[in-house]
Chain A
Amino acid sequence: MSAHPGPPDAQRASAWDRPADLEKDPALVPEPGSVDVPEGLRREIEDAMARYPDRHSAAIPALHAAQQVHGWCSPEAIEQVALVMAVTPAYLDSVASFYDMLENHPVGRHSVYVCTNISCSLRGADALLEAIVAEAGEDPDFNVRAFECLGACDIAPMASVDGVYVGPLEPSDVTQLLDDSRAGRPVLPDKQLATRLVADPSANSREFPLHPTEEGSP
Chain B
Amino acid sequence: MSEALLLKDIDEPGLNTLATYEARGGYASLRKALQKTPGDVLVELEASGIRGRGGAGFQMGKKVSFLPQGSMDKYLVCNADESEPGTFKDRELMQKNPHGLIEGIVIASYAAGTDRSFIYIRGEYAHQADIVEAALAEARDAGYVGERILGSNHSLSLHVHRGAGAYICGEETGLLDSLEGKRGNPRLKPPFPANQGLYQGPTLINNVETLATVPAIIELGGAEYAELGVQTSTGTKVVSVSGHVQRPGNYEVELGVPSREIIYDLAGGPLEGHQIKCWFPGGSSSPVMTADDLDVPYDFDSMAKAGSMIGSGAIIVVDETTPIVDLALKVAKFYRHESCGKCTPCREGTNWTVKTLERIDSGEATPMDLDIMASVQDHIIGNCLCVLGDAMAMPIGSMIVKFRDEFEAHIEGARARSELALAGAGGNGRANGEELH
Using a CB–CB cutoff of 8 Å, the interface residues on chain A facing chain B are: 1, 11, 51-61, 63-64, 94-95, 98-102, 113, 117-119, 121-123, 147-156, 160, 163-165, 193-194, 197-200, 202-206, 208
User: A118's contact among B10, B126, B163, B327, by CB below 8 Å, is which?
Assistant: B327
User: B183's contact among A55, A94, A148, by CB below 8 Å, is which?
Assistant: A94
Closest 10 CB pairs of A and B: A199-B249, A153-B242, A100-B165, A99-B164, A56-B181, A59-B181, A101-B165, A149-B85, A119-B242, A203-B7
Given known pairs A57-B179, A200-B249, the reply for A153 and B240 (CB within 8 Å) is: yes
Taking a contact as CB atoms under 8 Å apart, the answer to whether A99 and B123 are in contact is yes
Tell whether B338 is near chain A: CB-to-CB under 8 Å.
yes
List residues of B (85-99) whose CB comes within 8 Å of A's CBs.
85-88, 90-92, 95-96
Tell whether B303 is near chain A: CB-to-CB under 8 Å.
no
Nearest B residue (CB) for A57: B181
> In whole angstroms, what is the CA distance A145 to B115 when docked?
40
Taking a contact as CB atoms under 8 Å apart, the answer to whether B166 and A204 are in contact is no
The interface bits of chain B over 47-70 (1 if a CB of A lies within 8 angstroms of the residue's CB, else 0) are 000000000000000000000000
Nearest B residue (CB) for A160: B124
Given contacts A95-B181, A119-B243, A200-B266, 14 further A-B contacts (CB under 8 A): A59-B181, A60-B162, A119-B316, A122-B243, A122-B244, A151-B83, A151-B91, A153-B87, A153-B240, A156-B243, A198-B10, A199-B251, A205-B9, A206-B12
Taking a contact as CB atoms under 8 Å apart, the answer to whether A153 and B88 are in contact is yes
Nearest A residue (CB) for B180: A57
Using a CB–CB cutoff of 8 Å, the interface residues on chain B facing chain A are: 1, 4, 7-12, 73, 82-88, 90-92, 95-96, 116, 122-127, 159, 161-167, 178-184, 199, 240-244, 247-252, 266-267, 280, 284, 314, 316, 318, 322, 326-327, 329-331, 333-334, 337-338, 340-341
> In whole angstroms, what is the CA distance A152 to B244 when docked?
14
Given known pairs A99-B165, A153-B243, A203-B252, the reply for A53 and B199 (CB within 8 Å) is: yes
Taking a contact as CB atoms under 8 Å apart, the answer to whether A208 and B11 are in contact is yes
User: B11's contact among A61, A154, A204, by CB below 8 Å, is which?
Assistant: A204
Taking a contact as CB atoms under 8 Å apart, the answer to whether A204 and B124 are in contact is no
User: B337's contact among A94, A148, A154, A156, by CB below 8 Å, is which?
Assistant: A148
B334 to chain A, nearest CB (A): 6
Residues from chain A with Cβ under 8 Å of B184 in the complex? 98-99
B335 to chain A, nearest CB (A): 10
Given known pairs A51-B159, A100-B164, A164-B127, the reply for A204 and B7 (CB within 8 Å) is: yes
Taking a contact as CB atoms under 8 Å apart, the answer to whether B183 and A95 are in contact is yes
Residues from chain A with Cβ under 8 Å of B241 in the complex? 199
User: A64's contact among B123, B166, B180, by CB below 8 Å, is which?
Assistant: B123
A178 to chain B, nearest CB (A): 20
Nearest A residue (CB) for B131: A194
Given known pairs A118-B316, A148-B85, A156-B242, the reply for A53 and B8 (CB within 8 Å) is: no
Q: Can you report 10 A-B residue pairs in the complex whose CB atoms are below 8 A from each other?
A: A57-B161, A99-B165, A151-B125, A153-B243, A154-B88, A160-B124, A197-B11, A200-B266, A203-B10, A203-B252
B105 to chain A, nearest CB (A): 16
Given known pairs A200-B251, A205-B4, A205-B8, the reply for A165 and B127 (CB within 8 Å) is: yes
User: B124's contact among A94, A101, A203, by CB below 8 Å, is which?
Assistant: A101
B268 to chain A, nearest CB (A): 9
Residues from chain A with Cβ under 8 Å of B85 in the complex? 117-119, 148-149, 153
Taking a contact as CB atoms under 8 Å apart, the answer to whether A95 and B182 are in contact is yes
Residues from chain A with Cβ under 8 Å of B181 in the complex? 52, 54-60, 95
> In whole angstroms, what is the CA distance A152 to B124 when docked?
11
> In whole angstroms, what is the CA distance A206 to B183 when docked?
45
Given known pairs A102-B164, A154-B250, the reply for A200 and B7 (CB within 8 Å) is: yes
Residues from chain B with Cβ under 8 Å of A121 in the complex? 330
Residues from chain A with Cβ under 8 Å of B163 in the complex? 60, 99
Nearest A residue (CB) for B122: A151
> In whole angstroms, what is the CA distance A113 to B165 when docked?
11
Residues from chain B with Cβ under 8 Å of A102 in the complex? 164-165
Given known pairs A11-B337, A205-B8, the reply for A98 and B86 (CB within 8 Å) is: no
Taking a contact as CB atoms under 8 Å apart, the answer to whether B73 and A101 are in contact is no
> In whole angstroms, what is the CA distance A101 to B178 when docked?
14
> In whole angstroms, what is the CA distance A156 to B184 when docked?
28
Residues from chain A with Cβ under 8 Å of B249 in the complex? 154, 198-200
Taking a contact as CB atoms under 8 Å apart, the answer to whether B123 and A151 are in contact is no
User: A151's contact among B7, B10, B124, B162, by CB below 8 Å, is which?
Assistant: B124
Taking a contact as CB atoms under 8 Å apart, the answer to whether A1 and B127 are in contact is no
> In whole angstroms, what is the CA distance A151 to B248 when docked?
13
Given known pairs A98-B166, A194-B95, A198-B92, the reply for A149 and B86 (CB within 8 Å) is: yes
Taking a contact as CB atoms under 8 Å apart, the answer to whether A117 and B330 are in contact is yes
> In whole angstroms, what is the CA distance A210 to B402 when docked?
38
User: B167's contact among A122, A148, A164, A199, by CB below 8 Å, is which?
Assistant: A148
A187 to chain B, nearest CB (A): 12
Taking a contact as CB atoms under 8 Å apart, the answer to whether A198 and B7 are in contact is yes
Residues from chain A with Cβ under 8 Å of B179 in the complex? 57
User: B251's contact among A55, A165, A203, by CB below 8 Å, is which?
Assistant: A203
> In whole angstroms, what is the CA distance A144 to B86 when docked?
22
A202 to chain B, nearest CB (A): 6
Taking a contact as CB atoms under 8 Å apart, the answer to whether B127 and A63 are in contact is no
Taking a contact as CB atoms under 8 Å apart, the answer to whether A156 and B124 are in contact is no
> In whole angstroms, what is the CA distance A153 to B166 when docked?
18
Residues from chain B with Cβ under 8 Å of A154 in the complex? 88, 240, 242, 248-250
Given known pairs A1-B333, A54-B199, A61-B162, the reply for A149 and B123 (CB within 8 Å) is: no
B246 to chain A, nearest CB (A): 10
> In whole angstroms, what is the CA distance A165 to B333 when docked?
23
